A and B are shown apart, each in its own frame.
Chain A
Amino acid sequence: MSNKVLNQEPLLRITKRDGMPKLRAWGIRGIAVILSLIVSAAVIFLIVKMNPLKVYATMVSGAFGSSRKSWITVRDTMMLLCVGIALAPAFKMKFWNIGAEGQILVGGVATAACMIYLQSLPTWLLFVVIILASIAAGALWALLPALFKAKYNTNETLFTLMMNYVAIQLTSYFVALWENPYGSNTVGIINKATNRGWFPSIFGKQYLLNVIIVAVLAVGMYIYLKKSKHGYEITVVGDSENTARYAGISVKKVIIRTMLISGAICGISGFLAVSGASHTISASTAGGRGFTAIIVAWLAKFNTITMFVISLLLVFLEKGANAIASMYHLNDYASKMITGIILFFILGSEFFINYKLIVRAKENKEGK
């Protein structure tokens, strides 16, 4: 037998918390955000020797410095939020839909196709067709992994991940098909002259329609998850498939239905990105939002209101960091770096909400 000292309790023990008052939990998250902002400022300071206070000021002016900047911040927040909304029901069901990026892209491709080929339709009909087409495309992209998950329990994380790249290549194909001007390998602004299929300005605000659509979806999803029978079933399946079985819920049906909805809203996000923002399509139309939104939805615990706050925070950081980067003629990947840092902090902070550390009581140390 080894002569190790064995009569000691472990120094640190970790136990699960039963729960924490909401206010305190948000306090911990708040501290995490503040810490991450300090670290971000420190990183920026190390790189460009900029006064940290000035960093924050520049960030604010970069995101909200003018009416146009503010609107673009709002537009991008809405876009990110929209994808988050799409993912919420899937994640609530514990279905890891990592495929939002691809589902957005196929929605965008469907939108662009309608804008290109169906220009002659009356405006209202064109929009109806676009919406239906983008929903169908997104839903189809989500349906495949859902079917195989329900039937063979195929790993959905890996399946949806692969579907992203199939979508990206598919998009590249259409970009080459529609390229304009020839040889540029971009589609260019679609319907630049006629603005067919573009979101109209409302009250003179170019992006107000984006806000309205996403706000409707956000409220709708909130109600769907909290108040509808479907939402109820999603919660039961996500909590315990066994209880769902006891209650006579068909788990397969719920998985497929929920993923169709998730994909459909991703498709709408693609519609927003093309019709409501860039008016073009490229393999980077989704721009990594499909991945960022996963983190948004996860951190917000699928609450659409919280999702809005987190989306705004992330887009603000992106715009702010870009402002600093362009001020020093650096590139705007700085924002991704900062986003990464802040997300690491928030992810880490969840531990202190769910667990507590128990330090070994003093008297046990006497054995030393």
Chain B
Amino acid sequence: MDSLISLIQAAIIFGTVIMFGAVGEIIAEKSGSLNLGVPGVMYLGGIASLIGVFFYENSTDNPNQIICVIIALVCAFLAAALGGLIFSFLTITLRANQNVTGLTLTIFGSGVANFFGGSLNKLAGGVGQISVATTSSAFRASIPALYNLGFIGKILFSYGFMVYAAIILAIFAQRFLTKSRAGLNLRAIGENPGSADAAGINVTLYKYLATCIGSGISGLGGMYYVMDYTKGTWANDATIESLGWLAVALVIFAIWKPRNTIWGAYLFGILYWVYAFWRETNVDLGFITLHLPALTRRTQELFKMIPYIVTIIVLVITSHRKKKEYQPPEALGLPYFREER
């Protein structure tokens, strides 16, 4: 039982990171921008929040937790949105290829983040281990009264506010896309920019805004990873990058509906972490007893493949079924140039 609770907790925290990434990317992709720079903007969001908070915490003896949180959120959003702006300028105004530009943004973002993440200590004059404990604890604070409600409290209320923010954001994004005027216009652009243009929508403006805001949201995922997952420190490994690609996978898995990212993200989290909690068991199905062996370090790696394989299967099934609502936005990845019609 305890290990099940731990698994769910791990999955929810993990899922929250990619949920931010995926919701941001869905908004961008709905405008037709296939931004493969998601890992890059998540990196940018993560490092910018860390640097911002680091300087604040170091500049005062009693850092205020609320200010810490605000600095982290603002820095992460702006840095990631700036990454999105580079992508937008190159692909929308200068009409560079989206795939290539997105991949470049990923290279750039991981370079910037890991460079500063690894060198921050040195550049700041050797202050020792980079750690933003105050901010991190603010992000991880849960409500004690609810947390103590037994296992339900542990499953539902043991997290920092960003976990709930992600869910609210996903629901809000869903409602925005389906119920608002701007959301309708945005979807029209991703489906058929020519029609949207003919309907008097400012295609360029919408694409810029959707891509930049989407990137900013994805960047919050990177920030959450740094502040909660790694508890306010930086590690120069490629984890954010693999989470970023998982966020791209989640977009497909959710068939471009923000609502689906909620359970999709947690499912990915469970699939990703299940290896750590897997025990040797015998499942009695009545007529047959299944023996499920314990995982070794090797087979754990195979388990981590599952989210990607599931995504591929979803991709194949949707392309095979050809149901219009399940397809990627029709103009995804294509440039739009009015005079080319």
Contact B319 A336, beta carbon cutoff 8 Å? no
A154's nearest neighbour on chain B, judged by CB, is B319
Write the nearest CB–CB distance from A298 to chain B, whole angstroms: 5
Contact B96 A169, beta carbon cutoff 8 Å? no
Point out which of A185, A337, A351 has the most chain B C-beta atoms below 10 A from its C-beta. Answer: A337
Say yes or no: A347-B100 contact (C-beta < 8 A), given A165-B242, A173-B301, A331-B119: yes
Q: Pick 24 A–B contacts, CB within 8 A, sort by A.
A: A14-B337, A47-B123, A154-B316, A155-B315, A155-B328, A161-B36, A161-B248, A163-B312, A165-B308, A169-B301, A176-B297, A288-B107, A291-B107, A298-B97, A328-B122, A329-B122, A330-B115, A331-B114, A337-B115, A339-B107, A339-B111, A340-B105, A340-B107, A351-B96
Write the nearest CB–CB distance from A66 to chain B, whole angstroms: 25
Say yes or no: A294-B315 contact (C-beta < 8 A), given A157-B34, A166-B308, A173-B299: no
Judged by a CB distance under 8 angstroms, whether A333 is at the interface is yes
Judged by a CB distance under 8 angstroms, whether A45 is at the interface is no
A336's nearest neighbour on chain B, judged by CB, is B111
Query: When chains A and B are docked, how far (Å) is the Cα of A338 from the Cα of B86?
Result: 15
Say yes or no: A337-B111 contact (C-beta < 8 A), given A157-B34, A284-B238: yes
Say yes or no: A162-B308 contact (C-beta < 8 A), given A155-B315, A284-B238, A339-B111: yes
Contact A330 B108, beta carbon cutoff 8 Å? no
Q: Kindly supply a per-residue 1/0 record for chain B positions 76-96, scoring 1 wherever the CB is within 8 Å of any chain A CB and 0 otherwise.
A: 000000000010011001111
Please name all residues of chain A whose beta carbon is closer than 8 Å to the beta carbon of B242 when the two chains form the complex: 165, 168
Judged by a CB distance under 8 angstroms, whether B178 is at the interface is no
A:25-56 near B, CB below 8 Å:
47
Write the nearest CB–CB distance from B246 to chain A, whole angstroms: 8
Q: How many residues of B contact A (CB 8 A)?
A: 60
Judged by a CB distance under 8 angstroms, whether A344 is at the interface is yes
Contact B123 A294, beta carbon cutoff 8 Å? no
Say yes or no: A348-B94 contact (C-beta < 8 A), given A155-B315, A337-B115: yes
Please name all residues of chain A whose beta carbon is closer than 8 Å to the beta carbon of B96 when the two chains form the complex: 347-348, 350-351
Contact A165 B94, beta carbon cutoff 8 Å? no
Contact B107 A173, beta carbon cutoff 8 Å? no
Secondary structure call for the B interface: helix
Write the nearest CB–CB distance from B164 to chain A, whole angstroms: 29
Which B residues fall within an 8 A CB radius of A?
Answer: 34, 36, 86, 89-90, 93-97, 99-101, 103-115, 118-119, 122-123, 236, 238, 242, 245-246, 248-249, 252, 296-302, 304-305, 308-309, 311-312, 315-316, 319-320, 328, 333, 337, 339-340
Write the nearest CB–CB distance from A346 to chain B, whole angstroms: 9
Query: When chains A and B are docked, how far (Å) is the Cα of A338 from the Cα of B115?
Result: 11
Please name all residues of chain A whose beta carbon is closer than 8 Å to the beta carbon of B115 when the two chains form the complex: 325, 330-331, 333-334, 336-337
Judged by a CB distance under 8 angstroms, whether A152 is at the interface is yes
Point out which of A173, A175, A176 has the most chain B C-beta atoms below 10 A from its C-beta. Answer: A173
Please name all residues of chain A whose beta carbon is closer than 8 Å to the beta carbon of B100 when the two chains form the complex: 294-295, 298-299, 347
Query: When chains A and B are docked, how far (Å) is the Cα of A291 from the Cα of B99?
Result: 10
Please name all residues of chain B whose beta carbon is closer than 8 Å to the beta carbon of A335 when the two chains form the complex: 111
**Cβ-neighbour of A343 out of B104, B118, B236 (below 8 A):** B104
Please name all residues of chain A whose beta carbon is closer than 8 Å to the beta carbon of B108 when the two chains form the complex: 336-337, 339-341, 343-344
Judged by a CB distance under 8 angstroms, whether A201 is at the interface is no
Write the nearest CB–CB distance from A73 to chain B, whole angstroms: 19
Query: When chains A and B are docked, how far (Å) is the Cα of A330 from the Cα of B242?
Result: 24
Write the nearest CB–CB distance from B321 to chain A, whole angstroms: 9
Judged by a CB distance under 8 angstroms, whether A159 is at the interface is yes
Query: Which 3 pairs across A and B sit closest by C-beta, in order of nearness?
Result: A340-B108, A336-B111, A337-B111
Q: Kindly supply a per-residue 1/0 record for chain A positions 156-198, scoring 1 wherever the CB is within 8 Å of any chain B CB and 0 otherwise.
A: 0111011111101110110111000000010000000000000
Please name all residues of chain B whose beta carbon is closer than 8 Å to the beta carbon of A168 when the two chains form the complex: 242
Query: When chains A and B are docked, how far (Å) is the Cα of A162 from the Cα of B309?
Result: 8
Contact A347 B90, beta carbon cutoff 8 Å? yes
Contact B99 A98, beta carbon cutoff 8 Å? yes
Query: When chains A and B are docked, how far (Å) is the Cα of A284 from the Cα of B114?
Result: 16
Please name all residues of chain A whose beta carbon is closer than 8 Å to the beta carbon of B249 when the two chains form the complex: 161-162, 165
B89's nearest neighbour on chain A, judged by CB, is A348
Query: When chains A and B are docked, how far (Å) is the Cα of A14 from the Cα of B95?
Result: 11
Judged by a CB distance under 8 angstroms, whether A210 is at the interface is no
Judged by a CB distance under 8 angstroms, whether A355 is at the interface is yes
Contact B319 A161, beta carbon cutoff 8 Å? no
Write the nearest CB–CB distance from A156 to chain B, whole angstroms: 10
Write the nearest CB–CB distance from A104 to chain B, whole angstroms: 15
Say yes or no: A344-B99 contact (C-beta < 8 A), given A329-B122, A339-B111: no
